[in-house]
Structure formats: C-alpha cells, structure tokens
Amino acid sequence: MQQWKTRDRKVILDESPWLKVESHTVELPSGQVIPNWQWVTTPDYINVVAVTEEGKFICFRQVKYGLEGDTLAIVGGYLNDGEEPLQAAQRELREETGYESPDWVSLGSYRVDPNRGIAMGNLFLARRARLVATPIVDDLEEQHLHLLSRAEIEQALATGEFQVMAWTAAVALALRNL
C-alpha cells in the first residue's frame, strides 16, 4: 500500500504550544489531489496506570471541561520539550501522586486521529509504586486521589466511569498485562 503525499501545507491557526491547525494539499496514490485537508497538532501526552506495592490502582475523581459531571481518571500529562515519553510518565506520576515506581511497562504509543493528526498518546503501566513525596498541586483541575482494588477498577471500566478513550484503553491494556 502506498502512502498519501503532502504537496503543500499552510498554517491557518497557531496557538502554540497547545494547538496548531494546518491546511494541507494531499495527493492520494491514485493521483487524486485533495485541497484543504485539515491537520491538527496538539502536544503529545502520556497516561499512566499505576499500581501500588499493595496492588491498589491509583486513580483520580475529577471534572474535565469537555465532560458532563465528574469522571474517574488516571495519571496524565504533556511531554515537555525534548522529554522522552517514559521520562514524562515518571515525572507526572511523582508530581500528581507523590508515588514512584521501579517497574515500568510501555502499553504502546498511539496516534489520536490518524487522518487529522492531533497528538501521540503514550500509555504506560507502573507496577509496585510506592509513596515517596507529597504531590505537587499546581494544576488547574481539582482532583481527588483514590486507591482502587482490581475488582473496583474492573467494575469502573465496565460501567464507563473512565469517560476518556485514552484512559479506558490504558486501563484495559494494563489489566491485560497484569
């Protein structure tokens, strides 16, 4: 199979570092040219399913601007410039929860929207996490830390308490790896 070719690109909105929208002219393998193909760039991110030494899953109950009501969430955040995904995952786990883990498993890196761009989501499982510090509370979001048993996180997954696709996928992949 042949890849599409980008013949031209023009930035139509630049709100860096959070959002950039481009209009591409793309050529299909058949030779057909499509003008005005929208491409969206947002920062790459990590999500971490963290499990403590006692087998508890570290989650948050929080509100997100684009969701109705509250949601169950996992550790997450954006990569800093030049930061590798695993480094970002380790940093975010410590910052958001005060936990560190000696045992990391990559659950994969995934394009959010393969036709329009968006970001790369990097998912991780952190096993045998232990509390080593006080969380850094400097985020705009109010979030409450919860430690869930495996049965509780499986129930939360089954009932749709994780309202974000990346979180749902990360939890399902983590459970499969445990």
Instruction: Per residue of the chain (178 residues), give pLDDT as tens.
Output: 999 999 999 999 999 999 999 999 999 999 999 999 999 999 999 999 999 999 999 999 999 989 999 999 999 999 999 999 999 999 999 999 999 999 999 999 999 999 999 999 999 999 999 999 998 877 667 889 999 999 999 999 999 999 999 999 999 999 999 9
Q: Which residues contact 110 (CB under 8 A, 6 or more apart)?
A: 120, 121, 123, 166, 169
CA dist 100 and 5 (Å) reads 43
Q: How many CA atoms lie within 13 A of 24 on its CB side?
A: 17
For residue 141, give the CATH number of its domain.
3.90.79.10
| Cross-strand pairs, 23 | 10, 38
If one counts the domains in the chain, the total is: 2
Full residue range of the structural domain in which residue 27 is found:
5-41
pTM of the model: 0.93
69 and 25 together in one domain: no
- Beta carbons of 50 and 74 less than 8 angstroms apart: yes
Give the amino acid at 88: A
91 and 105 together in one domain: yes
* Structure tokens that stand for 74 in this block: 């996992």
105 and 23 together in one domain: no
